[in-house]
Chain A
């Protein structure tokens, strides 16, 4: 079982729609969860982090964490073509200090 799993996609949504990106993780003791965006040929950029169960909002982005289900998601409201990128979920498993990445989900926002 992979430590962090994402559907590689591509996930295609029309402009203005809500894009929902999902991620599951295997270590139940994980405490820190991150979402990065990576444009083709560029480095990952940190979008959001979340530590507690529930929702965390930042502009058009909402991160949702459910530790009981070992599930973290990222919602992007009012999706724009400029949001088209690969979204990487990352988790720090308990007592490791290692940031482990999923394989990423490619998002395509069509005008």
Chain B
């Protein structure tokens, strides 16, 4: 049973489209995150939610909008996709804020 699951795993889409990535964790953790890993493999935090409340919002274009309907789910919606949005997006969770113990398998987004 996967602790942190993301869908879809692969996504190829055209510039200008809107897409969503979903994440669910079954660990009972209070905090969930979105990280972006670029082509140089650098992992950068985008957002963090604690019990459905947004607590970290990095300098991310407002085309990216996270939503947490409950503490087990964190979704990422991206409007007007650009070529530079191509990356791997990882969802993660932790019990203590910041101490990430589990990552999802990643969502490979390619914008063409």
* Partner-B contacts on A (CB < 8 A): 32, 34, 38, 42-46, 49, 86, 88, 90, 92, 96-101, 103-104
Cα distance, A100 to B33, chains bound together (Å): 12
Known A-B contacts A49-B99, A92-B98; the reply to A103 vs B40 at CB < 8 A is yes
Nearest B residue to A91, CB-CB: B98
Within 8 A of A (CB), among B1-54: 33, 40-45, 48
B residues less than 8 Å from A34 (CB atoms): 99-100
A residues less than 8 Å from B45 (CB atoms): 98-100
Contact with A along B48-62 (1 / 0, CB 8 A): 100000011000000
A98 CB contact (under 8 Å) in B98, B102, B104: B98
B residues less than 8 Å from A104 (CB atoms): 41-42
Decide if A44 touches B99 in the complex (CB within 8 Å): no
User: At the interface, yes or no: B82 with Cβ under 8 Å from chain A?
Assistant: no
Query: Measured between C-beta atoms, what is the minimum distance from A65 to chain B in Å?
Result: 15
Name the 4 nearest CB pairs between A and B, nearest first.
A43-B103, A101-B43, A92-B98, A97-B97
User: At the interface, yes or no: B66 with Cβ under 8 Å from chain A?
Assistant: no
A residues less than 8 Å from B55 (CB atoms): 97
B residues less than 8 Å from A100 (CB atoms): 45
A residues less than 8 Å from B103 (CB atoms): 43-45
Known A-B contacts A43-B90, A98-B48, A98-B56; the reply to A32 vs B105 at CB < 8 A is no
